[in-house]
């Protein structure tokens, strides 16, 4: 999965949390610690299955539930104009 940050988005990271600021529409989108971890893993490897397995093992949660949550996060970021997915 190819995830690209919108060129008009600024990222601010503090205390293991990320704030995305879309400068075109002034929308702020924040990620908590787990969302930040997912974001970093997606950017690192870009493989939904690998990230799903990693998060599932780390937090001892059902992989299918994790996969659904990750897909939902990606969709929320896309709708907010933070990312483009290919």
pLDDT tens, residue by residue, 27-72: 899 999 999 999 999 999 889 999 999 999 999 999 999 999 999 9
> What pLDDT is attached to residue 53?
97
Nearest to 37 by CA among 8, 64, 69, 81: 69
Rounded to two decimals, the pTM is: 0.90
C-alpha to C-alpha distances, 18 to 30, 43, 45, 47, nearest whole angstrom: 6, 14, 19, 21
Question: How does pLDDT run across 7-28, given as a tens digit for each residue?
Answer: 999 999 999 999 999 999 888 9
- Taken in order of first residue, the domains within the chain and their CATH numbers are 3-85 (1.10.10)
**The two structure tokens encoding residue 10:** 């600024």
Q: How many CB atoms lie within 10 A of CB 64?
A: 10
């Amino acid at each position: 999965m190819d995830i690209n940050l919108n060129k008009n988005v600024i990222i601010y990271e503090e205390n293991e949390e990320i704030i995305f600021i879309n400068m075109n529409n002034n929308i702020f989108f924040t990620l908590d610690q787990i969302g930040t971890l997912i974001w970093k893993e997606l950017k690192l490897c870009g493989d939904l299955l690998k990230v799903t397995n990693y998060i599932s093992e780390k937090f001892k949660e059902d992989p299918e539930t994790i996969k659904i949550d990750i897909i939902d996060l990606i969709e929320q970021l896309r709708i907010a104009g933070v990312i483009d997915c290919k």
